[in-house]
């Protein structure tokens, strides 16, 4: 099995799928990339058993075969090479790999490609086609709100709901929630599933700069994402997603409208002075002013800022986790944002005041924290 390929092209494709590799694998061959050659097409795959991803590149060869090459060694070797054609020569009897460049030869011991776990087959029960920018935006806007609780695995992923009227993507960790809706991404039939965080992060990086339609095929256990030369198969999270609509308060008479950049800057500055365990931030809103304050009694640290705003409703004093607020406001793009509240012990809702895309709706919910008076 021999082929010639551009070192830069090979490195680019290896890096694009390397995010799926684990650092501590119980199956040693999963520390490797699987390279499969069929005539002039080289398929490169990586897997952690839960998620498997492959990409195809054209190479100069007429051979067939496969080999598993240690990922870390291959990535580091190629990262330090200048752009040049590189010959990869594989001795399949010993699983020895030689990289031949203009100035040197490098030998790596590989493993039998036949021992690499097979690509899981997704015998599709349903499929949906989504634009790359829709899926990329949906992941970016929701993934930060997913949870990390092993006891509630359904909350560690993003819930995807496709209907004939549009698509909804939801993430929550019980303290914060994001609902991202696209009215321009419609499915021919209703479908829903929960995608894990790790393959979503890999997808997010792969979709950068891609202008392509993404085909999503899925059944009860797996989902397959196909676009360009990339195929990604991941195991879905099994379980019933919580009724997220039930926790979104419908009556919110207190409505704050504020410049997003000014508000975000103040939140970041004041959060420095909050308690490092609770991250508690106090918002005191009256008239056309909002006072943002935080204190850390353990170290006698304190910070206050006052901003002008537009406010309709009764004067209110409410506490929030500064980390959650900063994350949410950072992930909105409009010039102004609206924060709706009903009472100091009820969730606040945040959304953009003006939409850059009329087909897009985003709602963020954040639970309050009890204030120490």
In a domain, 239, yes or no: yes
Residues 131 and 233 in one domain: yes
Q: Report phi then psi at 201, rounded to 5.
A: -65, -40
Task: Look at residues 43, 15, 33, 25 and name the one whose alpha carbon lies nearest to residue 116.
Answer: 33
Q: Say whether both 140 and 240 belong to one domain.
A: yes
Domain for residue 373, yes or no? no
List the chain pLDDT tens, one digit each, 373 residues: 899 999 999 999 999 999 999 988 888 999 999 999 998 999 999 999 999 999 999 999 888 999 999 999 999 999 999 999 999 999 988 999 999 999 899 999 999 999 999 888 888 677 889 999 999 999 999 999 999 988 899 999 999 999 889 999 999 999 999 999 999 888 888 889 999 999 999 999 999 888 889 999 988 899 999 999 999 999 999 999 999 999 999 999 999 999 999 999 999 999 999 999 999 999 999 999 999 999 998 888 999 999 999 999 999 999 999 999 999 999 999 999 999 999 999 999 999 998 888 889 999 999 999 887 6
Domain boundary among 202, 223, 245: 245
CATH number at residue 66: 3.10.150.10
The reply to whether 98 falls in a domain is: yes
DSSP element (H, E) containing 284: strand 280-286
Same domain, 13 and 58: yes
| 120 part of a folded domain | no
Shared domain for 103 and 196, answered yes or no, is: no
Helical residues (DSSP H) of the chain, grouped into ranges: 7-17, 71-79, 132-142, 197-206, 260-271, 322-330
CA distance 347 to 172: 13
193/254 same-domain check: no
- Number of domains the chain contains: 3
Residues of the domain holding 197 = 126-245
Let me know whether 240 and 253 are in one domain.
no
Place of tokens 């680019």: 12
Same domain, 133 and 236: yes
Angstrom distance (rounded) from CA 355 to CA 138: 15
**Dihedral (CA of 292, 318, 322, 373) sign:** positive
The reply to whether 371 falls in a domain is no
Measured at the CA of 255, the angle between CA 251 and CA 256, to 5 degrees, comes to 150
Domain boundary among 201, 222, 245: 245
Q: What does pTM read for this prediction?
A: 0.90
Same domain membership, residue 80 and residue 44 = yes
137 occurs within a structural domain: yes
- Mark whether 255 and 239 lie in a shared domain: no
The last residue of a domain, from among 201, 228, 245: 245
169 shares its domain with 225: yes
């Amino acid at each position: 099995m021999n082929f010639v390929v551009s070192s830069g092209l090979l490195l680019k494709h290896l890096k694009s799928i390397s995010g799926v590799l684990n650092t501590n694998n119980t199956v040693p061959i999963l520390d490797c990339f699987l390279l499969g050659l069929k005539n002039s097409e080289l398929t490169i795959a990586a897997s952690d058993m839960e998620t498997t991803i492959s990409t195809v590149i054209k190479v100069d060869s007429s051979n067939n075969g496969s080999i598993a090459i240690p990922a870390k060694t291959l990535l580091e070797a190629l990262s330090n090479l200048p752009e040049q054609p590189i010959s990869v020569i594989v001795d399949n009897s010993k699983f020895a790999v030689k990289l031949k460049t203009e100035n040197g030869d490098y030998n790596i011991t590989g493993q039998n490609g036949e021992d690499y776990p097979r690509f899981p087959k997704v015998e599709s029960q349903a499929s949906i086609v989504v634009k790359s920018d829709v899926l990329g935006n949906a992941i970016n806007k929701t993934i930060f709100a997913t949870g990390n609780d092993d006891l509630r695995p359904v909350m560690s992923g993003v819930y995807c709901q496709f209907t004939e009227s549009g698509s909804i993507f939801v993430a929550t960790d019980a303290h914060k929630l994001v609902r991202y809706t696209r009215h321009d991404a419609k499915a021919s039939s209703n479908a829903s599933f929960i995608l894990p965080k790790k393959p979503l992060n890999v997808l997010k990086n792969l979709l950068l700069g891609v202008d392509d339609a993404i085909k999503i095929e899925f059944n009860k256990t797996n989902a397959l994402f196909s676009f360009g030369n990339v195929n990604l198969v991941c195991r879905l999270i099994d379980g019933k997603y919580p009724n997220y609509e039930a926790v979104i308060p419908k009556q919110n008479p207190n409505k704050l409208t504020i410049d997003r950049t000014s508000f975000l800057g103040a939140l970041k500055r004041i959060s420095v002075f909050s308690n490092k365990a609770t991250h508690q931030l106090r918002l005191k809103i009256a008239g056309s002013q909002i006072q943002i304050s935080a204190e850390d009694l353990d170290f006698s640290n304190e910070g206050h800022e006052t901003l002008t705003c537009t406010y309709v409703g009764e004067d209110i004093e409410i506490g929030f986790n500064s980390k959650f607020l900063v994350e949410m406001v950072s992930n909105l793009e409009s010039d102004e944002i609206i924060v709706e509240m009903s009472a100091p012990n009820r969730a606040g809702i945040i959304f953009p005041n003006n939409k850059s895309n009329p087909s897009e709706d985003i709602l963020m919910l954040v639970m309050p924290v009890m204030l120490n008076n």
